A and B are shown apart, each in its own frame.
Chain A
């Protein structure tokens, strides 16, 4: 179990680094969703299924949607001007 948690912690820092190093906003949103997915797997490994559930629905459904919509809205408004 410690091996799984350790592996997930390493994966979490790698995917977190991925979020920071990604420069293109839309790709960054996907990197953030991937980071959330790893985080929810870690919560699951730490025996917190409710928290994992919340993290997975917010991190990979609600958060990416709101970011994508905001980015799309910015693009649409820029075109209009």
Chain B
């Protein structure tokens, strides 16, 4: 479609649709209005019922824990899909070590990048673990902390170079951790059923509020999500990075 026609089509559609947009904007609820009762209920009962101080974690891993199980397996399925597509195309045997293709010019990292990666990776890792463990008490949780741990793993790649990084971040280990994380969530939900409770029902001791052991089952499934997210994102990054390896830059 050429430009004048496109403009004419746009003007016609804009004139036709503008009244609907204006009518819609006119009936929007005022800024900050909150008609739903559930948030207020959760805020009121969260601390007494589950001994937690971060209600978002309470909703994600307890009150609506089954939804998060679904999300957990969406992530699991997408990681499996990406790994199968990319690793399958290269061949399983080649994926164990860093890919090496001859005749590619090596692009080394600057010392500043390597130094920054080496300094920041352990700090970021510690912070990620902190965020995962403090899901019940402060903002953040398994998902956010898991991605921060993944960021630390990436910083290790920047600090140490690709082949050293591949020796640290073994894809077999990542696959195992990812599966273990998903299993902790699914099986952690099953355990209450052996004691006559419902799936994912929080029957574990709830612990002292504002500590990392508070929340009972929340702490367990949250850890599962943290492990699965960190390992899952790392697996995707590893397989994608392997795609960019074209030749003998293993030392870079």
Contact = CB atoms under 8 A, between A and B. Distances in A.
Given A57-B151, A76-B246, A50 B240 contact: no
Interface stretch (B22-30, B44-52, B142-150): B142-150
Interface string A19-61: 0000000000000000000000000000001101110011001
Nearest to B146: A57
B243 A69 contact: yes
Nearest to A61: B151
Nearest to B151: A61
Given A50-B56, A50-B144, A53-B144, A73 B151 contact: no
Contact of A58 (B54, B147, B237, B240): B147
Nearest to B233: A62
Interface residues of B, number: 23
Prevailing SS type, chain A contact patch: helix
Interface residues of A, number: 19
Given A50-B56, A73-B244, A76-B246, A65 B143 contact: no
Interface of B: 54, 56-57, 131, 139-141, 143-144, 147-148, 150-151, 154, 233, 236-237, 240-241, 243-246
